[in-house]
């Protein structure tokens, strides 16, 4: 049996045991303590536009059907027949009013005129005869996630009825998620998903990925080959267009989220030309900048490059602009999903250029991401050995140097190169692993900066 959680995650000294990346018992505990409790990203609304549309997704190791019923409500249902467990829906996507099990024909309806609640059992072959009419269909509807939230065109769910409201779960990290989900001009929820999700298997523990995305600028060396070749969308070297100078890492110790991004600022930074490979596209982004200046005025706003919503959803906000989800398969394997976002109301040329750029950057065929896979999979593999697994990873960088952030509740700022956000991620992971219920996990519980609202904006924290 593995050591107690507090010996696996040693917060005072920044140590993380390799056991948590390879151990079977800890993996099982993760599924029940983390994945059956946390809010998880399950789908994008563009996958379920019309009533009756459905898409199959994952929550932990369970497969779920995310579907829009005949009244337009979104449901997240466990994708298994309640009778004998056959995977009810083996398509990835489609449109259906009824899901019928191919094994014995039990069928479940998404039409509230036929059943009390969409997802309920509607038809059972031989109900009147073999079951003598005695089977209570209401008891045997599809298992549903009790908590579902559609947020700016993304769909999230939790198996735990006691989970906090999604907005509370996000806390002020929401502002950074908004940056990715809003339009480039700042228009709320202005995002569109490019058709099709990249899905691929990686022989890596799932935690390597969200940890990497939470603020590991230190691993930039991995991507030197693509920086040398240059895929930045204005031509030239590097992976992206010029980024703001004010980039830092911010973490939310009581929530587990983290981001590489900017501190809240009150004036739009000087316009930096972007996407110069196509004049029409470059002009679009210039216009978006002007609209941001107009929209926000001297109000606070944030921007970000990459971040993680605990536990397994990460996102790029700038270049590329994508969502990544890391589904656990076993202690040493995960399935990675990637979704590409563009402004919904952008011209086709803008969408097309973004799509091609995202593809050349991300996914198993991406010039950047392919090298991440190599790191995570061989770090997992080399943690398996009897001696290897008994030692710790070092997360000491910047320990004790976190600073409170004005204008963001419960956030700390840590500088560009630091492992503070990773420590925050594993601290939150440890809390989930130890907790018996959400009573012990509610945002605001446990050590860390208070969640009280910080002081009013002052001039000395503004960044240009």
Partner 1 sequence: MSNLAEIELLHEVTQFFYHEADLLDYREYAEWLKLLHPEVRYFIPLVRNVPRMRDNEFTREQQDNAWMDEGYATLEKRVKQILTNIHWAEEPPSRVSHLISNTVLVQVEGEPGAREVTTRSRVFVYQNRIDDEVNHFVGKRIDTLAETEHGWLVKHRTVHLDQSVLLAKALTVFI
Rg value, the chain, Cα:
23
CA 200/CA 436 separation, integer angstroms? 33
Residue nearer to partner 1 on the CB measure, 193 or 306: 193
What is the three-class DSSP state of 371?
Answer: helix
Shortest CB 202 distance to partner 1, Å: 4
E strand spans, 232-346: 248-251, 258-261, 304-309, 313-316, 322-330, 333-342
Shortest CB 442 distance to partner 1, Å: 36
Binding site for partner 1 (CB under 8 A): 90-94, 194-204, 222, 224-226, 228-231, 335, 340, 352, 355-356, 359-360, 363-365, 367, 369-371, 373-375, 377-378
CA 197/CA 268 separation, integer angstroms? 33
Residue nearer to partner 1 on the CB measure, 295 or 351: 351
Shortest CB 303 distance to partner 1, Å: 25
E strand spans, 29-104: 40-44, 53-59, 62-68, 74-78, 93-95, 98-100
CA 200/CA 359 separation, integer angstroms? 14
Shortest CB 253 distance to partner 1, Å: 32
Tokens of 365: 């065929």
CA 88/CA 140 separation, integer angstroms? 14
Residue nearer to partner 1 on the CB measure, 161 or 235: 235
Residue nearer to partner 1 on the CB measure, 105 or 230: 230
Residue nearer to partner 1 on the CB measure, 288 or 342: 342
Residue nearer to partner 1 on the CB measure, 356 or 401: 356
284 phi and psi, to 5 degrees? -60, -45
Cβ proximity of 395 and 258 under 8 Å? no
Shortest CB 102 distance to partner 1, Å: 12
Q: How many CA atoms lie within 13 A of 410 on its CB side?
A: 24
CA 131/CA 133 separation, integer angstroms? 5
Residue nearer to partner 1 on the CB measure, 205 or 421: 205
What is the three-class DSSP state of 143?
Answer: coil
Q: 244-274 b/e with 16+ CB inside 10 Å = b?
A: beebbbbbbbbbbbbbbbbbbbbebeeeeeb
Shortest CB 99 distance to partner 1, Å: 13
Query: CB burial class (10 A; 0-12, 13-18, 19+) of residue 211?
Result: buried
Residue nearer to partner 1 on the CB measure, 58 or 301: 58
Shortest CB 304 distance to partner 1, Å: 23
Shortest CB 335 distance to partner 1, Å: 6
Residue nearer to partner 1 on the CB measure, 45 or 413: 45
Residue nearer to partner 1 on the CB measure, 8 or 197: 197
Residue 118 contacts by C-beta under 8 Å, 6 or more apart in sequence? Answer: 67, 69, 70, 71, 73, 75, 109, 110, 111, 112
Residues 83, 85, 86, 91, CA torsion sign = positive
Shortest CB 30 distance to partner 1, Å: 21
Residue nearer to partner 1 on the CB measure, 304 or 373: 373
Tokens of 295: 């929209």
Shortest CB 358 distance to partner 1, Å: 8
Shortest CB 336 distance to partner 1, Å: 9
Nearest to 119 by CA among 132, 136, 137, 133: 137
């Amino acid at each position: 049996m593995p050591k107690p959680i507090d010996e696996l995650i040693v917060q005072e000294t920044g140590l993380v045991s390799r056991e948590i990346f390879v151990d079977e018992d800890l993996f099982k505990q993760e599924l029940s303590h983390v994945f059956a409790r946390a809010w998880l990203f399950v789908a994008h609304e563009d996958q379920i536009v019309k009533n009756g549309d459905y898409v199959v997704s994952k929550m932990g190791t369970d497969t779920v059907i995310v579907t829009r019923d005949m009244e337009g409500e979104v449901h997240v249902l466990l994708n298994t027949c309640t009778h004998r467990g056959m995977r009810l829906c083996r398509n990835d996507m489609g449109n259906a009013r009824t899901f019928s099990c191919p094994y014995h024909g039990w069928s479940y309806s998404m039409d509230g005129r036929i059943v009390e609640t969409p997802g309920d059992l509607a038809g059972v072959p031989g109900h009147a005869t073999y079951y003598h009419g005695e089977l209570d269909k209401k008891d045997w509807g599809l298992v549903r996630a009790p908590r579902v939230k559609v947020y700016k065109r993304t769909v999230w769910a939790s198996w735990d009825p006691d989970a906090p409201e999604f907005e509370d779960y996000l806390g002020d990290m929401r502002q950074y998620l908004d940056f990715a989900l809003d339009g480039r001009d700042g228009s709320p929820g202005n995002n569109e998903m490019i058709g099709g999700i990249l899905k691929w298997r990686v022989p890596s523990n799932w935690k390597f990925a969200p940890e990497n995305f939470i603020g590991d600028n230190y691993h930039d060396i991995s991507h030197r080959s693509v920086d040398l070749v240059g895929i930045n969308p204005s031509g030239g070297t590097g992976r992206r267009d010029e980024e703001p100078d004010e980039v830092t890492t911010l973490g939310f110790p009581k929530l587990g989220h983290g981001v590489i991004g900017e501190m809240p600022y009150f004036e739009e930074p000087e316009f930096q030309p972007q996407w110069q490979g196509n004049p029409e596209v470059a002009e679009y982004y210039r216009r978006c900048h002007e609209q941001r200046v107009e929209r926000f005025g001297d109000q606070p706003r944030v921007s970000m490059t990459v971040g993680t919503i605990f536990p397994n959803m990460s996102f790029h906000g700038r270049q590329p602009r994508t969502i990544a989800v890391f589904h656990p398969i076993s202690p040493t394997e995960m399935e990675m999903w990637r979704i590409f976002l563009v402004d919904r109301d952008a011209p086709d040329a803008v969408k097309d250029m973004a799509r091609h750029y995202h593809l050349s950057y991300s996914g198993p065929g991406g010039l950047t991401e392919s090298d991440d896979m190599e790191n995570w999979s061989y770090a997992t593999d080399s943690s398996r050995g009897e001696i290897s697994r008994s030692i710790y990873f070092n997360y000491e960088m910047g320990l004790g140097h976190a600073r409170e952030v004005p204008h963001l509740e419960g956030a700390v700022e840590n500088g560009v190169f630091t492992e503070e956000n990773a420590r925050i991620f594993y601290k939150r992971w440890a809390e989930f692993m130890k907790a018996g219920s959400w009573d012990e996990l509610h945002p605001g519980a446990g050590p860390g900066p208070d969640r009280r609202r910080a002081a009013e904006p002052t001039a000395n924290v503004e960044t240009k």
